[in-house]
Amino acid sequence: MEQMINVVFCMDSNYTQHAAAALVSLLMHNKPSELKIFIVSSQISKEDSGRLKAVADRFNTEFDFRYLDKKTLPKLKKHLHMTEATYYRLLLPELLTEINKVIYLDSDTLIETNLHELWNTDLENFGVAGYDEEKDFQTQRLDLEPDFYINAGILVINLSFWRENSISLKCFDWLKKNPDKNLLLDQDAINSVLKFKKTRIGLKWNLGPASFEDRKILENYPERILHFGAPIKPWHKCYDFDLQDLYRKYISYTPWKNLFKPAEPCNVAQASLVANQYYYKNNFYEACLYYNQAIQFRIQVKLLESKLLLEVINGGHRHFNNYDFFSACEHYRACMEFWGYPLTYDLDIYKIPGIVENMF
């Protein structure tokens, strides 16, 4: 067994800041002297490279940068928020030739636990270990049954197994031959090519708070890896404020601390969710601003249905101008309810129609 815990992040320029937060969380919960951290990328600006080095210096460690030429990648499919950087993990056996095992971590993670237990996952006769999503539709879609389907955001990879069995080549070949089955890109390829050659890791290693209700689950796992794998992330304004504070905590230890500004809502559903959170925190002024933004998004797409609705909105404006922000909120919330948008935020946000529209 290799003595150091090998960890790798793959990223492009879009995720450098978020990877920095992940790196800080990793280094705060593990001894830097026990980690060998690799950063794989095709493009990181000189400025961002300097910022990442500053993170390493803060923890008295170093990052091993490995650069690849993205021109060497075949032309591959992209999907939603997933860019070509997602495929970089398929190249790890060739990029990290000096090691035989590595923990792969997505850049949209926060590591709030020691990795020794994860590192000691038994990979004998297995190519990879990952969290079983326990979703029948995934195993059926890819004809995996009775095998299971893992999430590829956090993996323990047996690099020796991959080299000996040409897994990288087989994954790229699968992607080329299965464009219709390939919905989740390299994650689908890994699951298909390594059928019956995967083993499981526990939920604590891949907790995905994709909706506000998931926050309740996190209370059971104080030591965990958070994986923000869904399209809406902690750096979006419409994410759960309390979970976003975790991200802010780790960013505050990086050179990005004064640069972080959550992405503003880009549709009516997102703006109303932000407003709802402010409303339930009794910040009625900010709630008014975002309810009004939601109304403007709505009006841009559809005309107002009646004069009565216009009077309700104008009534809200009058209350706002008189500094009665609570009453203004009630007017605006009546509009949101009329249009069918929820008035709470403690729900599965991905069930709200249009929540990810205009994001990509």
For residue 78, what is the domain's CATH number? 3.90.550.10
Q: Are 196 and 299 part of one and the same domain? A: no
Domain boundary (205, 220, 241) is at 205
Q: How far is CA 154 from CA 131, 236, 273, 335, in A?
A: 8, 22, 29, 42
Q: What is the identity of the amino acid at 63? A: F
Give the best-scoring range by mean pLDDT among 70-74, 111-115, 298-302.
Answer: 111-115
Domain boundary (205, 220, 246) is at 205
Q: Are 328 and 183 part of one and the same domain? A: no
Q: Are 146 and 38 part of one and the same domain? A: yes
Say if residues 78 and 72 touch (Cβ distance below 8 Å). no
Name the band, by pLDDT with cuts 50, 70 and 90, for residue 194: very high
Q: Structural domain tally of the chain?
A: 2
Q: Is residue 122 part of a domain?
A: yes
Question: Bigger pLDDT: 357 or 109?
Answer: 109
Quote the tokens at residue 164: 């000996």
Q: Are 90 and 10 part of one and the same domain? A: yes
Instruction: Tell me the mean pLDDT in the region 14-36.
Output: 96
pLDDT in the model for residue 345: 86
pLDDT in the model for residue 351: 86
Mean pLDDT of the chain: 92
CA atoms within 13 A on the CB side of 344: 6
Three-state DSSP state, 74: coil
Helix 284-301 with 325-338: angle, nearest 10 deg? 30
pLDDT in tens, 40-50: 998 888 999 99
pTM above 0.95, yes or no: no
- Residues 132, 88, 203: CA angle, nearest 5 degrees: 20
**28: exposed, middle or buried (Cβ count in 10 Å: 0-12, 13-18, 19+):** middle
Q: Is residue 213 part of a domain?
A: no
Q: Are 112 and 190 part of one and the same domain? A: yes
Quote the tokens at residue 92: 């790890």
Q: Is residue 44 part of a domain?
A: yes
Quote the tokens at residue 238: 């419409």
As a whole number of angstroms, the distance between CA 344 and CA 348 comes to: 11
Q: How far is CA 159 from CA 75, 228, 270, 281, in A?
A: 24, 25, 41, 48
pLDDT in the model for residue 74: 64
Q: Is residue 229 part of a domain?
A: no
Domain span at residue 280?
268-351
Query: Does the pLDDT at position 79 exceed 70?
Result: no
Three-state DSSP state, 301: helix
As a whole number of angstroms, the distance between CA 126 and CA 130 comes to: 11
pLDDT in the model for residue 219: 87
